[in-house]
Amino acid sequence: MSEHNHDECCGHDHNHDMEEEWIVLVDEEGTEYRYSLERVLELENKKYAILVPELQDEDTEADEAHVFRIDTDDAGDEVLVDVDDDEITKIQQALENEDWDDEVDEEE
């Protein structure tokens, strides 16, 4: 996660408690894309990051999200890795079951 460091007068107005954390991903062509971290989901002893793009273009749906598996590289740093179709299916099922559980709890 990014850290916001500065001295007593940071030179800009904002509420530090309300700042949104952004994750910047860079594609093969060097284009940067900013995402907000929607949530981290743990499933079958693996962690997945669900990211929502900062800007949605006219070709994307308003609620589009991108899913990456959180792995550790050789240096011990967390990295985001593309997921395969089987993982996407399992994640979708887990989220749907979670939504269903929430609806049942609200009805009781």
Instruction: Please list the pLDDT of the chain residue by residue as tens digits (108 residues).
Output: 334 444 444 444 444 444 567 899 998 999 998 999 999 999 999 999 999 998 766 665 567 889 999 999 999 999 999 999 999 999 999 989 887 655 545 555
In a domain, 90, yes or no: no
Note whether residue 95 is domain-resident: no
The three-state secondary structure class of 20 is: coil
Domain membership of residue 47 (yes or no) is yes
Does the residue 5 lie in any domain?
no
∠ CA 1-92-101, rounded to 5°: 95
> How far is it, in rounded angstroms, from Cα 26 to Cα 82?
13
3 inside domain: no
64 inside domain: yes
| Domain residue limits at 67 | 16-82
Give the count of domains, the chain: 1
